[in-house]
């Protein structure tokens, strides 16, 4: 697996998921956005970035999910909390079912303390107010108070999963912002980050122009040569 | 098409979508509310009001939706952005599918700069944080980062469409507030506005009474004659 | 019906729906959470607590739901508003359909004035901004402007209902917080409240430890005897 | 309640649900069709017809739904089976949830033996093959093996309910054919039956003409006077 | 628009929608299958084939959809029935909503009499038993008795539409079999037909081998050279 | 893993999924029914029975799913087809998404040739007519022509999965009939089979009585002692 470099991580913190989605779209990748998840609190300090560490849930069979299963330190959910590497993003496949929690305040607090970069589920978190107040980005579908044992049985750690209809392989680079969460295949992370930084510069230039009254034709995309020249000057002026 | 008058526009800015929904209900119109859309930011300065200018999307065929389609100035989405009249509301039929964006920050900023009164989609916007911060009302189902090309092909401008299961004809009067967005058939706009202003006065009176401890029986609706007299006095006192 | 005691009410104000869901789960009750409802405004002053007073809606037949039905003081919706006991929570079975309102600002204001403890629907409220600003907790699926007559016919008061797929019997104890709303069967309210207070103390202790850097193994759940001893000291220190 | 007469019952056996839906539509009734139910076997001997006798389910609380509840003869589901009048149609409000059965082969066989005219649920039946083979019409959403106790608690008999989003009042006249099941308000049954018989005659005439090569303009609807004359002759010839 | 040749039509009658879906997939086209429609009766005489002639519905505004609208010969639904060319397939965009009919027995009979090759809606047909018995293929989501006026307003003929989430342009080649309906972009029809005929030959060969006990490795796909040789002999023997 | 004995297999062939669902319900197991799957053809020769052999799909990333992936003999879908043991049932976790196929006619034919007892997916099969005609039971949600590569990437063989919201562990005993498919935990198979045989005898007795005119009270369940005596005689008479 290609390791996520510090340089790429920094670049990705400064770009948005729409820009990344467009860069992936150009490469024929249409389903990398984790659908229908949202941040529990407004993102700050740039986008959430980290390599995916995954947890797979299956439907919880009643006889295997008494409260005491958590006494077992090898329980996959509890292991994931203690083993997800610092700087990684824990991504949970909850089969898009938010009727029971994927995790709660204590476990997510522990992730934060361990230096994990963020947590994502296509289900829901309990103690959502507490999690929203943590200093670590979190994404889910909606709050969900019932314990995960009610519907979700943790079964595997760090295998390829689906999350919100997106494919997630361990080590893929996860980026989240106000629009949601996207999955960059690991081998593309560096080139996508570079391209997104470039695109972001042009988008910022365009936004400035549009706010100054420019029309979009010829500017976005830049079919008018004059706009590319103006952009070139703008880059120098803004050091980008 | 009846043109939306300034007087009616002003009246509609001061009334709510629930009041308008009730006025339409009295005329047998039950499906004028655009279902399941919400404002990207809290409405301010009264309700969003404007005549509908429409954009219809169909499912995007892959071979017709490479990134370079936007270089064509006749692309219906881009034309809609530049041609939607100032004071109008751009309403997009995204077939209730928010898995790819209906539009993004740059295009919606351009709409604002052009003096458009608002924008509505039954899909989702990308750059949702940026759009939320604009000084123009916007409504969608949820944020959505992927470019519209992923799933939505813009195909027609200003034809009758469905949006959130409501029928929208070009020129219909669109009103939006915290509860969502409603569609007033063009020919009814003036009379509905008048009636809604009246209803709003009574509702404000009722709210004041209820907050003062009145019970609702006889007051809401006014089956007790004394309440109508009190309302009459209240109107004079409040100049309404 | 067991009457909700003041002591139990106070205890329940201090505990969360996730904790209650776990306590119910231990007793084999998995579906007591009202699914997919959310508070119209951030809860304050602890959790919403009250005994359930119910209203059942059925699909609205057009000929029975002209606007003038509200002139009849025996209309079940209007009666519910005036008859729901102070301290109770009005729970509405809107068949999980938020396409028309379950109630609006005036009626919910009246509930607040009458001292009702809160209101819940698995549909939606109109005048949602106004209701959000009231000093009484309210929960729904999403805002919905059309009058309830459009789709919902109030048919029965204070019968057993479903709300958000949870069973609700009149007199069950309803508790709501940021995560949503849960239904405690009346006969279990006292023991669940006691147990939840105990669980909350331990969870608060755990949270404090985790924030101090403790790992979860052995602590949550307390399989390590030392943690139970530390908790015992902590309780004494914190008076809990 | 108007009693369903033998004459009206016979008329309704000879007409289709689409024709009835149109007759109701003319009277402003748009939601009388029970949505998304289908016959377990191809209808024979004309349409199913009978007055509605209803059963309401709510979500099943686990502690109230052990297998032994059926030992109680006052259990509403079991009472409904033994008390639904001969000639009536038993209509079950299963909240559109087919994940557990509304009833099974033995109970539906008992209904047939008792002379009940048919059975409808907006959930599902277990033993669906056995029920399909019975000599009584039955309608559901899809087969469903789990006992009703799993999700559905029978709570009331013969109250107004929703079934497949349609309002059903006890005594309403239920008609079912290959297209599904429709609910005729009791007070309209006679006039709707008469009108539907007339409409059916014209539709049969039109079908014959169209099969003979006629175009639909002027014929359907009959805007061409000549078609009405031809129909008049056709009626005499066919004794209708 | 490329006209569908008789040769291509014949080839397509002999191939299946899965084979066509695979041929389109190889060209990067993933969404050409009309999702969630099924034949009203078992297909016979090969697959349904014809060029798309389209009808677009929007949500029906109540005041524009009284029964008498059908008296107008320019009503788009009625025009579509009389104007859809013989040999074409009428494809209706009913916004995936089968709660009201897209058309009924008389109109579909007229289509058959006019030599139309088939009819498809992503909604439902009324008089479904009658339509199923016709000698023309028809596809829908499920039976639906209410008149289309209830929810669907016909608004445009022969424009690009969405049907079951697939893009349909007038003139695209529509093919239907037991698995459903697929849309071949007009310009690809000839080459896709040729390729599908080839693929079908190989699939038939494979099926014969598998039925004779062959394992799939090396055979499907043909990574084992010997299988290609055997296929070559088989083609000669079977004249394919 | 407990091996499924021939005796238990035979017993299970003679009982229905509703009876099994009730037996599991008595043990607190409520979610063992695979929801919303149906047989492609009417079951014959008793219920489908076999131990679960599983295949897990995840969302298909476009760059990993070109047609040529099937040339690799280690592709999990292809391996599953060749490695699923005779007598077992292949159960596929297609994340309840029937928009692309889980498998097609050739692969399912191969399963049949290899002596596999049946195949189940919570997605859909392509070539559904061909599969329906095979002499092996098959279950899916609905036909689906697009190749699995379109949406489903086979990722693991014989791990615990979810299928139609039911938990499926390799070796669990799968039983299918006209009502659908149920999952019996491996360790319970023998005792559940025994109990279901007993229950079936009583149900057959009850059905016979009900068809003879008996009322259900006292008989079903047998609260009337006389019925148990009559059953005892009936068993002897029928050798059951």
The b/e string for B150-167 (b: 16+ C-beta within 10 A; e otherwise) is bbbbbbbbbbbbbbbbbb
Neighbours of B33 (CB within 10 A): 29
User: In this complex, do C21 and A68 lie within 8 Å of one another by their Cβ atoms?
Assistant: no
Q: Which of A101, A143, A147 sits opposite C178 (nearest CB)?
A: A143
User: In this complex, do F178 and D129 lie within 8 Å of one another by their Cβ atoms?
Assistant: yes
Min distance D106 CA to chain C CA atoms (Å): 27
Number of cross-chain residue pairs from B and C with Cβ atoms under 8 Å apart: 85
In this prediction, residue A182 carries a pLDDT of: 98
Tokens of D97: 């949830």
Min distance E228 CA to chain B CA atoms (Å): 32
Q: Is C207 exposed, middle or buried (0-12, 13-18, 19+ CB in 10 A)?
A: middle
The mean pLDDT value of chain B amounts to: 96
The CA-CA-CA angle for residues C218, C223, C225, to 5°, reads: 95
Chain Cα centroid distance, residue C13:
11
The mean per-residue pLDDT over the stretch D134-156 comes to 98
Min distance F153 CA to chain A CA atoms (Å): 9
Give the chains touching E; criterion: ≥3 Cβ pairs < 8 Å. B, D, F
In this prediction, residue D64 carries a pLDDT of: 97
Phi, psi of F118 (to 5 degrees): 170, 175
User: Do C58 and D167 meet the contact criterion of CB atoms below 8 Å apart?
Assistant: yes
User: In this complex, do A29 and F166 lie within 8 Å of one another by their Cβ atoms?
Assistant: no
User: In this complex, do D33 and E146 lie within 8 Å of one another by their Cβ atoms?
Assistant: yes
HEC profile for B86-102?
CCCEEEEECCCCCCCEE
pLDDT of A2 > 70? The answer is no
User: In this complex, do A31 and F159 lie within 8 Å of one another by their Cβ atoms?
Assistant: no
Question: Mutate which of F26, F29, F58 to disrupt the A interface (most A C-beta within 10 Å)?
Answer: F58
User: How far is Cα F110 from Cα A212, in angstroms, rounded to an integer?
Assistant: 66
The mean pLDDT value of chain C amounts to: 96
* Residues of C within an 8 Å Cβ radius of B: 67-68, 70-71, 73, 78, 81-82, 99, 101, 104-107, 109-110, 113, 126-130, 142-147, 149-150
User: Do A174 and A50 meet the contact criterion of CB atoms below 8 Å apart?
Assistant: yes
DSSP SS3 for F187: helix
Neighbours of E96 (CB within 10 A): 18
User: In this complex, do C155 and D156 lie within 8 Å of one another by their Cβ atoms?
Assistant: no
Q: Which chain C positions have a beta carbon within 8 Å of D28's beta carbon?
A: 62-63
Confidence of residue E43 (pLDDT cuts 50, 70, 90): confident
Min distance F28 CA to chain A CA atoms (Å): 7
Number of cross-chain residue pairs from A and B with Cβ atoms under 8 Å apart: 85
The b/e string for E103-119 (b: 16+ C-beta within 10 A; e otherwise) is bbbbbbbbbbbbebbbb
Min distance D155 CA to chain C CA atoms (Å): 8
The residue whose two tokens read 């692969």 is F107
Q: Is F204 exposed, middle or buried (0-12, 13-18, 19+ CB in 10 A)?
A: middle
DSSP B68: G
Give the chains touching F; criterion: ≥3 Cβ pairs < 8 Å. A, D, E
Q: Kindly report the pTM of this predicted structure.
A: 0.97
User: How far is Cα C108 from Cα C116, in angstroms, rounded to an integer?
Assistant: 9
The CA-CA-CA angle for residues E43, F93, E140, to 5°, reads: 25
User: In this complex, do F145 and E18 lie within 8 Å of one another by their Cβ atoms?
Assistant: yes
User: How far is Cα F163 from Cα F123, in angstroms, rounded to an integer?
Assistant: 9
Q: Which of A109, A110, A126 sits opposite C179 (nearest CB)?
A: A126
pLDDT of C1 > 80? The answer is no
The tens digit of pLDDT for each residue in A172-193 reads 999 999 999 999 999 999 999 9
User: How far is Cα A167 from Cα A173, in angstroms, rounded to an integer?
Assistant: 12
Number of cross-chain residue pairs from A and C with Cβ atoms under 8 Å apart: 85
The full set of domains in chain D, from first to last, is 6-186 (3.50.30.40), 192-238 (no CATH)
DSSP SS3 for F65: coil
The DSSP code sequence of C124-188 is EESSHHHHHTSSS-EEESS---S-GGGTEEEEEESS-EEETTEEE-TTPEEEEETTEEEEE-GGG
In this prediction, residue A43 carries a pLDDT of: 83
User: What ipTM, to 2 d.p.?
Assistant: 0.96
- For chain B, residues with pLDDT lower than 70 are 1-2
Q: Which of D58, D162, D165 sits opposite C160 (nearest CB)?
A: D58
Pick the closest to residue D70 from D109, D94, D103, D111 (CA basis): D103
Minimum CA–CA partner of E101 in chain D? D18
Per cent of chain C over pLDDT 70 is 99
Phi, psi of C138 (to 5 degrees): -140, 145
User: How far is Cα C226 from Cα D168, in angstroms, rounded to an integer?
Assistant: 62
* Touch between C and E (at least 3 CB pairs under 8 Å): no
The DSSP code sequence of B28-47 is T----EETT-EESS---SS-
The tens digit of pLDDT for each residue in A26-54 reads 999 999 999 999 999 998 889 999 999 99
* Residues of D within an 8 Å Cβ radius of C: 27-32, 58-63, 95, 153, 155-156, 159-162, 165-167, 169, 185
Tokens of D111: 């209904």
User: In this complex, do E36 and F142 lie within 8 Å of one another by their Cβ atoms?
Assistant: yes
Tokens of A95: 């089969």
DSSP SS3 for E36: coil
The mean pLDDT value of chain D amounts to: 96
The tens digit of pLDDT for each residue in F51-61 reads 999 999 999 99
The tens digit of pLDDT for each residue in A145-155 reads 999 999 999 99
Q: Which chain D positions have a beta carbon within 8 Å of C62's beta carbon?
A: 28-31
Q: Which of C62, C155, C166 sits opposite D28 (nearest CB)?
A: C62
In this prediction, residue C26 carries a pLDDT of: 97
User: How far is Cα D187 from Cα D4, in angstroms, rounded to an integer?
Assistant: 10
User: How far is Cα F104 from Cα F107, in angstroms, rounded to an integer?
Assistant: 6
Minimum CA–CA partner of F99 in chain E? E35
Q: Which chain B positions have a beta carbon within 8 Å of A27's beta carbon?
A: none
Pairing type for strands A89-93 and A48-59 reads parallel
The tens digit of pLDDT for each residue in C79-130 reads 999 999 999 999 999 999 999 999 999 999 999 999 999 999 999 999 999 9
The b/e string for F119-147 (b: 16+ C-beta within 10 A; e otherwise) is bbbbbbbbbbbbbbebebbbbbbbbbbbb
Q: Which of D78, D99, D128 sits opposite F216 (nearest CB)?
A: D78
The residue whose two tokens read 């499924």 is F4
The mean per-residue pLDDT over the stretch E216-233 comes to 94
User: In this complex, do D31 and C61 lie within 8 Å of one another by their Cβ atoms?
Assistant: yes
User: In this complex, do A62 and F161 lie within 8 Å of one another by their Cβ atoms?
Assistant: no
Q: Which chain B positions have a beta carbon within 8 Å of E95's beta carbon?
A: 95, 162
Minimum CA–CA partner of F95 in chain A? A95
C-alpha distances in angstroms, B178 versus B38, B125, C143? Answer: 7, 18, 8
User: How far is Cα D2 from Cα D223, in angstroms, rounded to an integer?
Assistant: 36
Phi, psi of D189 (to 5 degrees): -55, -45
User: How far is Cα E118 from Cα E139, in angstroms, rounded to an integer?
Assistant: 8
Q: Which of E78, E110, E145 sits opposite D179 (nearest CB)?
A: E145
> What sign for the dihedral angle of Cα F142, F143, F145, F148?
positive
Phi-psi region at A177: left, alpha or beta (left = phi > 0; alpha = psi -120 to 50): beta
User: In this complex, do C162 and D58 lie within 8 Å of one another by their Cβ atoms?
Assistant: yes
DSSP SS3 for A208: helix
User: Do D34 and D122 meet the contact criterion of CB atoms below 8 Å apart?
Assistant: yes
Phi-psi region at B165: left, alpha or beta (left = phi > 0; alpha = psi -120 to 50): left
User: How far is Cα B137 from Cα C152, in angstroms, rounded to an integer?
Assistant: 30
In this prediction, residue C2 carries a pLDDT of: 53
Neighbours of A85 (CB within 10 A): 14
User: In this complex, do F167 and A59 lie within 8 Å of one another by their Cβ atoms?
Assistant: yes
User: Do F124 and F144 meet the contact criterion of CB atoms below 8 Å apart?
Assistant: yes
Q: Which of A33, A203, A215 sits opposite B145 (nearest CB)?
A: A33
The tens digit of pLDDT for each residue in C145-169 reads 999 999 999 999 999 999 999 999 9
Q: Which of B59, B156, B185 sits opposite E165 (nearest CB)?
A: B59
Q: Which of A21, A213, A223 sits opposite B147 (nearest CB)?
A: A21
Minimum CA–CA partner of F142 in chain E? E36
* Residues of C within an 8 Å Cβ radius of A: 16-18, 20-22, 25-26, 30, 33, 35-36, 38, 42, 177-180, 182, 203, 206-207, 210-211, 213, 215-217, 220-221, 223
The tens digit of pLDDT for each residue in D168-195 reads 999 999 999 999 999 999 999 999 999 9
User: Do E80 and E157 meet the contact criterion of CB atoms below 8 Å apart?
Assistant: yes
Minimum CA–CA partner of E18 in chain F? F145
User: Do D50 and D4 meet the contact criterion of CB atoms below 8 Å apart?
Assistant: yes
Q: In whole angstroms, how large is the CA radius of gyration of chain E?
A: 20
The tens digit of pLDDT for each residue in E10-35 reads 999 999 999 999 999 999 999 999 99
User: In this complex, do C33 and A143 lie within 8 Å of one another by their Cβ atoms?
Assistant: no
C-alpha distances in angstroms, D91 versus A80, D12, D43, D88, D160? Answer: 49, 18, 17, 9, 10
Confidence of residue A3 (pLDDT cuts 50, 70, 90): confident
User: How far is Cα E74 from Cα D217, in angstroms, rounded to an integer?
Assistant: 10
User: How far is Cα F240 from Cα F226, in angstroms, rounded to an integer?
Assistant: 19
Confidence of residue E1 (pLDDT cuts 50, 70, 90): very low
In this prediction, residue C158 carries a pLDDT of: 97
Q: Which chain A positions have a beta carbon within 8 Å of B136's beta carbon?
A: none
Pairing type for strands E180-184 and E33-34 reads antiparallel
Tokens of D46: 């004309």
User: In this complex, do B126 and A21 lie within 8 Å of one another by their Cβ atoms?
Assistant: yes
Confidence of residue E3 (pLDDT cuts 50, 70, 90): confident
User: How far is Cα D167 from Cα D159, in angstroms, rounded to an integer?
Assistant: 11
């Amino acid at each position: 697996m290609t390791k996520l470099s510090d340089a790429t991580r920094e670049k990705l913190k400064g770009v948005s998921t729409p820009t990344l989605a467009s860069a992936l779209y150009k490469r024929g990748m249409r389903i990398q956005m984790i659908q229908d998840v949202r941040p529990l609190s407004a993102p700050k300090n740039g986008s959430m970035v980290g390599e995916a560490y995954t947890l797979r849930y299956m439907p919880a069979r009643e006889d295997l999910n008494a409260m005491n299963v958590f006494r077992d330190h090898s329980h996959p959910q509890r292991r994931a909390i203690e083993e997800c590497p610092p700087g990684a993003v824990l991504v949970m496949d909850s089969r898009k079912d938010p009727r029971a929690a994927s995790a709660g305040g204590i476990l997510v607090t522990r992730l934060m303390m361990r230096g994990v970069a963020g947590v994502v589920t296509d289900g829901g978190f309990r103690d959502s107010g507490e999690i929203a107040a943590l200093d670590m980005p979190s994404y889910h579908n909606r709050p969900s108070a019932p314990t995960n044992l009610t519907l979700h049985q943790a079964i595997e750690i760090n295998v390829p999963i689906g999350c919100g209809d997106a494919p997630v392989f361990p080590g893929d680079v996860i980026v989240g912002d106000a629009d949601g969460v996207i999955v960059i295949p690991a081998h593309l992370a560096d080139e996508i980050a570079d391209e997104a930084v470039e695109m972001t510069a042009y988008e910022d230039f365009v936004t400035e122009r549009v706010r100054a009254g420019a029309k979009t034709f010829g500017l976005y995309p830049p079919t008018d040569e004059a706009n590319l020249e103006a952009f070139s000057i703008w880059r120098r002026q803004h050091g980008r």
